[in-house]
Amino acid sequence: MVLLFVLGCIFFPGCFAVFRWGLQNHASLQMERQEAVLVASKLVSSVQAIMASTAGYIVSTSCKHIIDDQHWLSSAYTQFAVPYFIYDIYAMFLCHWHKHQVKGHGGDDGGPRALGSTWAVVRGYLHKEFLMVLHHAVMVLVCFPLSVVWRQGKGDFFLGCMLMAEVSTPFVCLGKILIQYKQQHTLLHKVNGALMLLSFLCCRVLLFPYLYWAYGRHAGLPLLAVPAAIPAHVNLGAALLLAPQLYWFFLICRGACRLFRPRGSRPPSPCQTQD
């Protein structure tokens, strides 16, 4: 367990450092530091998402009995991926820090900023990314201990399905990169937006009804009878995990309304909300 955790602590920050160096120093790219930081962080997130969804697919398809069957990858990848959430909190702050500098709020001489200004950036980061930081903290402090200790080797199928929620992440990351480079008008951005919407709906929102349905099929229960047949704390945990997914899906749908509406037309009322 400790070895996998240490490997994760090395792998994810190491990937970020390599990607950032390559983006800044490759002859055909030579990005500015703030651009390289943003793109590198999204590349690392995409790498983690591909690894997690691949591991999840292997685990979920290998477990024929959804309660008792086990696969070594479920615990191994969970232990390896925990450092990613810690790293990503720092990477998101680094992106926010550089955006703040680009907007002209850095030191007058480009040197270290005052302590008060630094705390202002930290407060702005926590305000803007509060839900994501909270999500990552819960993953490390709650979900990881529960998956290792509380499960006691049962339910690898469900854990594998949860890992497959990361299928949508590469599309989210590509969308942010395209927006950074003001490519919202391109066909690539629209196709990526459609794929992001579809993958997020299937792999993050509809995932929870599917898990309830899978358990109902295993236990011989109709879908609507499953919540009453399982412990209340399981329903509570599922609801807490689903809530931010619904909020982020709402934001994606709102963005899709703006993206696909005809130019020059007035948007319908659900799409008029500003960021």
pTM of the model: 0.86
pLDDT on residue 273: 43
Angle at 90 between CA 84 and CA 91, to 5 degrees: 80
Q: What is the pLDDT of residues 108-140, one digit of tens each?
A: 444 555 555 788 888 899 999 999 999 999 999
CA distances from 148 to 74, 75, 154, 156, 181 (A): 10, 7, 10, 11, 41
What confidence score (pLDDT) does residue 27 get? 80
168, pLDDT greater than 80: yes
CA-nearest of 59, 57, 50 to 15 is: 50
pLDDT, averaged across the chain: 88
For 135, the 3-state DSSP assignment is helix
pLDDT in tens, 230-240: 999 999 999 99
